[in-house]
């Protein structure tokens, strides 16, 4: 059964609409001076901050923070946990928005068509929260603003990886599917490592969250399974279980790991602790 994708397009429109609103609130000519704004003659109030301040063609970090950008000090010291959700609707510039939205459309629509809006919606937003949580734990003492849907998008990539593993028997070209997905994941991680200013901790947090949620939410019935209601009573047909043992096992392990990780992460955040992981580009500032 293929679902009609509507959630991912709505997220796309929401992010684009929020960026337009962000530029309206930013009002570069009023706050910075029209002479310094990029594209003032063509865009007026919607013109961009000077390139010396934002090379991605976007608003100021102050505007992003006021509209819900993820600042660890605000989340912890001022109990503004809502920023774990709001930050993924904001983007720091046109190039940032374009890259994320292309990834969202190419990855999210296919997943939503295969698994439905409910499971993909849960996966997307929890992965975004997971990315924001790890970002706060890593940057607890830093006064920085993180924005973007990257954490949630890395969650979709992570869920693709776990979906391939848990549904391994349903793939005809297993090595080709694995190689293609691994290449996409490595390229995206490398982009985050080598481009300055990218919050790699949000990427890793979303990715690991997506892997765990993929094992929980994206199980397919094993190959050859037939619903008992479609088997005629006169047919002596041995019925296969819907899911294989290893699928149940991976689901349980992932669920336990997800709960433990969420509880530990929130408790560390409340206590004001930081975390460091031995991952490429994780500890760069």
- Cα distances from 173 to residues 143, 166, 176, 183, in angstroms, run 47, 15, 5, 16
Alpha-carbon gap, residue 91 to 221, rounded angstroms = 38
Can you spell out the DSSP letters for 140-190? Answer: TT----B-SSHHHHHHHHHHHHHHHHHTGGG-SSHHHHHHHHHHHHHHHHH
150 is known as an active-site residue: yes
What are the φ and ψ backbone dihedral angles of 177, each rounded to 5 degrees?
-65, -40
**What is the CB neighbour count within 10 angstroms for residue 50?**
15
Catalytic residue (one of 91, 96, 138, 203): 203
In 3D space, the residue among 215, 218, 240, 257 whose CA is nearest the CA of residue 110 turns out to be 218
- The answer to whether 29 and 35 have CB atoms below 8 angstroms apart is no
203 is known as an active-site residue: yes
Alpha-carbon gap, residue 176 to 254, rounded angstroms = 25
Return the residue matching tokens 């006064």: 143
Catalytic residue (one of 150, 159, 162, 201): 150
In 3D space, the residue among 45, 20, 208 whose CA is nearest the CA of residue 129 turns out to be 208
- Three-state secondary structure call for residue 266: helix
Strand partners, 70: 146
Alpha-carbon gap, residue 28 to 25, rounded angstroms = 9
Hey, which residues are catalytic here?
150, 203
């Amino acid at each position: 059964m293929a679902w009609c994708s509507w959630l991912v397009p709505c997220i796309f429109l929401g992010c684009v609409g929020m960026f337009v609103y962000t530029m309206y609130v930013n009002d570069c000519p009023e706050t910075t001076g029209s002479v310094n704004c990029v594209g003032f003659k063509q865009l007026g109030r919607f013109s961009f901050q000077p390139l010396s301040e934002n090379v991605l063609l976007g608003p100021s970090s102050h505007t992003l923070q006021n509209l819900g950008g993820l600042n660890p000090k605000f989340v912890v010291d001022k109990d503004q946990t809502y920023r774990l959700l709001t930050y993924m609707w904001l983007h720091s510039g046109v190039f940032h928005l374009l890259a994320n939205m292309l990834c969202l459309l190419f990855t999210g629509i296919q997943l939503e068509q295969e698994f439905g809006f409910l499971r993909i919606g849960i996966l997307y937003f929890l992965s975004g929260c997971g990315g924001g949580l790890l970002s706060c734990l890593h940057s607890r003492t830093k006064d920085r603003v993180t924005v973007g849907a990257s954490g949630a998008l890395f969650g979709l990539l992570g869920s693709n990886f776990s979906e391939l593993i848990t549904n391994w028997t349903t793939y005809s070209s297993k090595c080709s599917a694995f190689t293609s997905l691994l290449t996409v994941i490595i390229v995206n991680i490398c982009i985050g490592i080598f481009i300055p200013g990218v919050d790699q901790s949000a990427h890793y947090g979303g990715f690991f969250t997506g892997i765990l949620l993929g094992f929980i939410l994206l199980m397919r019935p094993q190959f050859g399974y037939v619903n008992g209601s479609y088997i005629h009573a006169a047919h002596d047909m041995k019925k296969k279980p819907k899911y294989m043992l290893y699928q149940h096992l991976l689901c349980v392990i992932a669920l336990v790991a997800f709960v433990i990780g969420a509880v530990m992460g929130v408790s560390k955040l409340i206590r004001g602790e930081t975390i460091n992981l031995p991952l490429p580009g994780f500890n760069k500032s």
